[in-house]
Amino acid sequence: MKIVIDGIETAASPGEMLLEVARRLGVRIPTLCYHEAFGGQGVCRLCLVEVTAGEVSRLVASCTYPVTGEIEVRTTTPEIERIRRHIIMLLHRRAPGSEFIQELYREYGCQENVPAPDPDERCIMCRLCVNACEAVGACAITAVDRGTDKRIDTPYGEASPDCIGCCACAEVCPTKAIGVSRAAGHYTIWNREFELERCAGCGRPFTSRPCQERIARLSGQELSGAQLCPECRKKQAGSRVALSMIP
């Protein structure tokens, strides 16, 4: 179906999320809680756009808005900019320690005189880390406590036996709120220390043993296949493809 985004006509499949159509077209819409691996969540509201269908216009979160008919979309209007600025100020108040939010704060010319409760806080509670942890089957972290004390943590804030040290949570975090401290031969995440296993191909230390075991189980490989770092796995797959092409 045909839709128009910022004056440019484009095609969208029924049910396709508006944000994804806009990205395909090269239109920049700021996002925080969206990740291509997990889709939209509609939590941060930063991806707000104006959608007009017939005579009716309304503001929607583009990451959770499925295209179901012909619409016209505007991604920036004075009202959108004003609301987005307020959202960024609220996010900045919650997570002033995040460099990404600081950049947005400057880009949108925000100004605020009220000091933030915790100047080092970086988490905006978007739950992308929880989604990533569930996706790898670890389920080691979740939202704990209530109200202003609500945060993402392991049960009782203790080193969780369910954590496999894959660091997918830290990887997807849009505000870099999840700390991974590294030292020679090991690293610590969520209060649990993991020894770094070396890649069976290049010898580079790259991940933990529990993570290798999980990769092997999820991919149905032998553990030896999961003992290769991503680069060596890619090379191995490439050489298999090349061999299969030899007549």
Residues that bind ligand FES (CB under 6 A): 31-34, 40, 42-47, 61, 63
**C-alpha–C-alpha distance, residues 39 and 30, integer Å:** 14
Least distance to ligand FES, CB of residue 33, Å: 4
Determine how many CB atoms are found less than 10 A away from the CB of residue 82: 11
For ligand FES, the closer of residues 45 and 233 by Cβ is 45
**C-alpha–C-alpha distance, residues 30 and 183, integer Å:** 35
Least distance to ligand FES, CB of residue 131, Å: 13
For ligand FES, the closer of residues 18 and 229 by Cβ is 18
For ligand FES, the closer of residues 61 and 169 by Cβ is 61
For ligand FES, the closer of residues 42 and 201 by Cβ is 42
Return the beta strands (E) in the chain as ranges.
2-5, 8-11, 48-53, 56-61, 72-74, 142-144, 151-153, 181-183, 186-189, 192-195, 197-198, 205-207
Least distance to ligand FES, CB of residue 32, Å: 5
For ligand FES, the closer of residues 61 and 130 by Cβ is 61
Amino acid identity, position 191: N
The pairing of strands 186-189 and 192-195 is antiparallel
The pairing of strands 48-53 and 56-61 is antiparallel
Least distance to ligand FES, CB of residue 162, Å: 27
Angle subtended at Cα 9 by Cα 8 and Cα 11, rounded to the nearest 5 degrees: 135
The pairing of strands 56-61 and 181-183 is unpaired
Amino acid identity, position 11: A
For ligand FES, the closer of residues 39 and 157 by Cβ is 39
For ligand FES, the closer of residues 35 and 192 by Cβ is 35
Least distance to ligand FES, CB of residue 128, Å: 10
Least distance to ligand FES, CB of residue 239, Å: 39
Cα dist. 126→134, 166, 169 in Å?
A: 14, 19, 12
- 71 CB contacts (<8 Å, ≥6 apart)? 3, 4, 51, 52, 53
Least distance to ligand FES, CB of residue 220, Å: 33
